[in-house]
Structure 1
């Protein structure tokens, strides 16, 4: 009897309108979306320098650091921003053109030092690997708290009393979970001042086939890592003093970001949380329409948040 190969039979396709990857019945994964990368640079327009540093040789993880132009040598330490990229946990890179350009602009505007962290992506590396990888790099960053870590830029310039965790889309999810993890797995000497969530991805009660595939060990919409609103009582211990949730009017994830905001408020958390909605825009528009007025305005508002001057009033 002739055996028929399943090698061309598709078992799953994810994001058919903007295909990320497909899975064949024989288990083979074909990545359709190819993440572009660019090298670090010394930006001639802003003076922002960037470089790549290995954060975990064992796991093959690196980070991209961004340092603003130092105009006031007397200002020894500046706020530290730890950024996690989006991409549905499956695509994206801190070394991609969009993230490189955005972080360069933000570092210049806000006068912060930034570390854009890498994590291994699904489906080859299913969740919770992304969470663990991000935490590995955050612990590497925290190893510089006494000024004797392996990276001079962090030793010399990072203010570990003013640390912000930030991300967009799935990266916002990771940033939230890293902040929560700091509650139980303390980063000695590190003070997380704020959490900045840009068009965050969280689950609701609807089935998500992608999450079911890339995070088979989760509890779905009842998993607080995916849906923090499902465990409101845990949010009361969010170990930072300020949170800014940015949503876009036309983003299909908008209501999930709003639900997160409402859940944190309901929890009784003793901090300040604000919700900022950008009218007429879609998911992570600020990465793709960087010169638009709304993207420029949002960059200013994010910069103000990082410099403790943000207010919706």
Structure 2
């Protein structure tokens, strides 16, 4: 391709995206096949999409298991997808299938958040959108929100935040924000971080794509990217009492995740944190190969973590 052409490549960040001179964004790591919401015949899980903000185009996909008792209140799971802040969505087959399976096995209601993605919407938009979605969920606490599934069946005193990779990074930040700003009527019982993406101050840590999509900040010191930096002061603000962290043995992020785990234990936060390492596996293997034995074990551990709170 002629780089002097108006459609030539202006910025190239494989394997995530490239930006052409005419402004077009091409996601190199193509989003998995998108699927519509459905009534899943195998699990009985229903899903539907709703717009949270017309102004921002912020939306969520809601999931509900088969309801046996109309008066039953179920734990509420808010799930935030990964993808380096710039690829994937709740509507991809990968995430739709994963959340459907989790809702079925854990018997929870789930809200899967579609935050606006970089590079069209640089950070901190993903953080702000996710917080707006969580506040929208909280607007149903008194049973008079716009979504009947949440009004009738969500137990807001048993709310969990979960995510993977960049989504797990967002989950951490949302739980900190809840601790700092409050979230009326919602009790975050726990958070699940699957192979979370965190930055580091180490010289070998470099992320040109992150520097591009989060302009105007020193990402190596910013607590949103590197919560362990500056002594991990914000860790003590986490508004939950339990944390479950997963790390993959072959993941390049492995050591950073352990640093986070150790910093959290020493932060004065006071909750219970557990870290589980899956040997011989790489980053988000459980999403890429969900039927493998280790992914099924990981799913059972998440289910047990959620169901341990009554």
Deviation string 1:24-59 (CA, Å, 9 cap, x unpaired) is 467653333332311011111111111111111111
1:150 aligns to 2:146 (yes or no)? yes
Between 162-171 and 19-28, the greater mean CA deviation after superposition: 19-28
* SS of match in other structure, 2:238: coil
Matched, 1:52 2:49: yes
Q: How far apart are residue 195 of structure 1 and its match? A: 1.0
Q: So what's the TM-score if we normalise by structure 1? A: 0.92
Which whole-Å CA distance do the structure 2 matches of 1:162 and 1:12 have between them?
44
1:5 alignment counterpart: 4
| Equivalence for 1:245 | 245
Is the Cα contact below 8 Å between 2:195 and 2:248 reproduced in 1? Answer: yes
Structure-1 separation of matches of 2:117 and 2:227: 22
Give CA deviations for 1:134-186 in whole Å, capped at 9, x if unaligned: 11111111000011100000001110001111110000011111111112222
CA contact (8 A) 1:7 1:28 kept: no
1:199 aligns with 2:195: yes
Aligned to 1:20: 16
Measure how far apart 1:7 and its partner are: 3.4
Q: Secondary structure at the match of 1:13?
A: strand
Q: Which residue of 1 aligns with 2:207?
A: 208
CA distance in 1, matches of 2:237, 2:303: 26
Deviation for aligned residue 1:252: 1.4
Alignment check: 8 A CA contact 2:76 2:109 kept: yes
Q: Deviations over 1:195-241 (max 9, x none)?
A: 11001000012221111100012221100000100141221121110
Secondary structure class of the residue paired with 1:268: coil
* 2:178 is the alignment partner of 1:179: no
Aligned to 1:64: 61
Residue 12 of structure 1: CA displacement?
A: 3.2
**Counterpart in 2 of 1:302?**
302
Q: TM-score, normalised on structure 2?
A: 0.93
Q: Distance in 2 between matches of 1:257 and 1:280?
A: 16
Aligned length: 302
Q: In the alignment, is residue 131 of structure 1 matched against residue 127 of structure 2?
A: yes
Q: Say if 1:52 and 1:65, in contact at 8 Å, map to a contact too.
A: yes
Q: Which runs of 5+ in 1 are unaligned?
A: none
Instruction: Could you tell me which runs of 5 or more consecutive residues in structure 2 were left unpaired when the two chains were aligned.
Output: none
Between 1:20-29 and 1:238-247, the stretch displaced more is 20-29
